[in-house]
Structures are given as C-alpha cells and as structure tokens.
A and B are shown apart, each in its own frame.
Chain A
Amino acid sequence: MEPSPEQPNPTIHQPVRLKIMAALKALPEDAQLEFVKLKDIVGATEGNLGAHITTLEGAGYVTVEKDFVGKRPRTRVTLSKAGRRAFEEYVAYLRDILDTKV
C-alpha cells in the first residue's frame, strides 16, 4: 500500500534506513556503495545495517550484489529506481511539513 501524503513512508522513516537511503541517493544513478563504506557513513553495526538493508531490499528500494575480490567477500548496495522515487517523495513530505509551519 502506498503511504498517504499525510504520513511518512514507514520503510524509509526509520533513522538508520533514512541514512542508508540518503547516502545512496547522493551517488550518481546506478552507482554502488560497498557495505563497509555504508557502515562508516551510517554509523551502524554490521548486524544492524544488514537487517535494515534486507528490509529496504524487501521493499524493492535497494538491490544488493555480492561477489568476491580475491578471497575477500564484497557486498555492494544500489538504490533502485523505486527507491529513488520513494526517497524523493519522502523528502518532499518533510519539506511540506516545514512549509506548512511557515
């Protein structure tokens, strides 16, 4: 169900997920961000970040790609088109609240 304009998107609204989405939205379209870099930016533990990424992936807002660099596993996250759109709507929702206040 699409959130109504009067309510924040509950998937994005959670603080850690909000930072994940903001970090990904700041990159060029289709650019990937490594899990370890995302952890630094968001300031979450690995387990916590992993759980929130799974939630965002379930909502179709991010895609996750896992591979190996040599023997080192690597996880990269990308903002999907649906995620980009949902995030933009969420930011517009926040701005509307502030504009209404004025």
Chain B
Amino acid sequence: MSLTPNEAAAALRDIESAGRRSGQAFGYRMSAPHLVIWGIVWVVGYAGSDLVPHLTNVLWPAVVLVGTIASLVIGALTGRANKVGRAGDGWRFGLLVVVFWVFLVATFTLMHPGPRAQGAFVPLVIATIYAGVGLWMGLRFVLLGAAVAALTLFGFFEIQQHFYLWMAAVGGGGLILAGLWMRSA
C-alpha cells in the first residue's frame, strides 16, 4: 500500500487541522483560570478606586500582588495536573509582572496621564497583548482583546461619572466571562 501525492497532502491537511484545534483548545484551557483571577483583580481594583478613591494607591499594589501570587499557585497546580511546565516558569511569571509594572511607572512618569487616562491605559495595553497573542493562540484571544479595548474606549469617552465602576463591570467582568469561555474549549 502506498499513497498518492493527493492522499498525502490530504492527510497532512488533516494533521494540521487537528493539531491546530488541539493546541488552541489546550492554550485556552490553560489560560482560563488566570483570566478569572485577573478579572477578579480588576473588579476589586476598579470598584475600590470608585468607592474608596483615597485608598487607590494602596489598593492596586495589594490586589496586583494577590493576583500575582494566585496566578503563580494556579499555574503550578494546573501545570502539575496537565504534566506541563518547565522549571523556572514561576519566577519568570513573577518577573514579567515586575517588568510590566516598571513599564507602567515609566510611562506614567513620562506622560503624566490623569487618573482616568491611567485607568484606561492599562486595559488598552492588556487588550493589545491579548489581541497580539491571539494571532498565534486563537481567535478567542483576539475577540477578547477587541472587546476589552472597545469597552474601555467607550467608557472613557462616554461614561463621565463612575468610569471605574464601568471598568470593574465590563473589564473585570469581561475577563471573568472570557475565562469561563476559554475553560469550555
């Protein structure tokens, strides 16, 4: 038994298709708990910024720290359960959060955005990252990035009062819903 070139090409297409679907679904499922965690971070951080604005400078570092630790723990647990992950993944993720934090501080120092602009800038950066990652990892990330960016811009320009509550609901809530959606993949 030997195959014709057409049969070989068809088999390679099947392999590529099944592999892509499997890889994407795996990426979605591994990302899901992290999206839920950071959705909760956004809900607490933004809702707190609206309800107790004088605590904002303390609240955000605290919730980001808790989110980072939760992501590290969940990442280690899901990695072990799925038998994936490499030594050093934990400290790399922690360092990534620090790098991102430094980037934000540097940007805000250079550009002096107001509090509302700061509150919109971070989700826009995150949305850009999701959309970019989605070009490799799948359409769901692209849609998530587009939705977060669109809702952030809409809130920034159209919601004059309680913009932070808007971000808590649609930004944080959106991440949580996206996490549940990814989990179903």
Contacts and interface: CB of A to CB of B under 8 A. Distances in A.
Interface size class of B (residues with CB under 8 A): 20 to 34
Interface in A1-56: 6-8, 10, 13, 15, 18-20, 22-28, 30-33, 37, 40-42
Contacts of A32: 82-83
Interface of A is mostly: helix
Interface string B18-55: 11111101100000000000000000000000000000
Interface of A: 6-8, 10, 13, 15, 18-20, 22-28, 30-33, 37, 40-42, 78, 91, 94-95, 97-98, 100-101
24 contacts: A6-B2, A7-B1, A8-B2, A15-B14, A18-B18, A19-B14, A19-B15, A20-B18, A22-B15, A22-B16, A22-B18, A22-B22, A26-B18, A26-B20, A26-B22, A26-B23, A27-B84, A28-B84, A31-B82, A42-B18, A91-B12, A94-B3, A94-B8, A97-B5
Given A7-B1, A18-B11, A97-B5, 9 more contacts: A15-B14, A19-B14, A19-B18, A22-B22, A26-B19, A31-B82, A41-B21, A95-B8, A98-B9
